[in-house]
Amino acid sequence: MEIISCGKNIQLHSFPKLNTISTYGGIVTHGSYDFQFFRNSKFFIASNPQIPAVEYFSLKSQAKISPLRKIRTENLCCVACPKNSLEYVALGLSTGHMRLINYKTKEIAYRFSPQTINNSIICLDFSATDDYLASTSETGDIRLYGMKSFIEVDSFNIDK
């Protein structure tokens, strides 16, 4: 069994001994990688704060982290994978915008407008059924969006 760790670079470790098996990426001097796996697969995405770009990876049978493709995206803060689909990924930006991108064609499927400009999206996650996308911003705002209508269905602030 192996585990992935992300911080200054991406590392694949043996478990439970935690020996480093494979490393990808140079040492990040500003920020850190953020990553998520596509459910039930050996594919994952990571935000690369140095480029900035979202990168797609595969874990090969030789226990090696293999890059598949890269999409450059300015102001990238975080990434999220749907739980049941391998077609799209969500990107959170430091401008407060969010994007839903088809990672095969690199086309933007939908753009979510920010509630407040320059309120960085720091975390994104899809619901278990991919019916909703949750976003968290620097100010503590949590917003839920319906993925069929792309409309905000609820919002609240946990810092109040």
Residue 113 lies in a domain: yes
pLDDT > 70 fraction of the chain, expressed in percent and rounded: 93
Within a domain: 3: no
CA–CA separation, 31 and 139 (whole Å): 19
Q: Which pTM does this prediction carry?
A: 0.83
pLDDT tens-digit series, residues 109-122:
999 999 888 899 99
In a domain, residue 61? The reply is yes
26-82 tens-digit pLDDT: 666 666 677 888 888 888 888 876 778 888 889 877 778 888 888 888 899 899 999
Q: What is the span of the domain harbouring residue 78?
A: 30-157
Instruction: Tell me, yes or no, whether 150 lies in a domain.
Output: yes
Residue 24 domain flag: no
DSSP assigned state of 2: E
Domain of 126, CATH number, reads 2.130.10.10
Please give the tally of structural domains in the chain.
1
Average pLDDT, the chain: 87
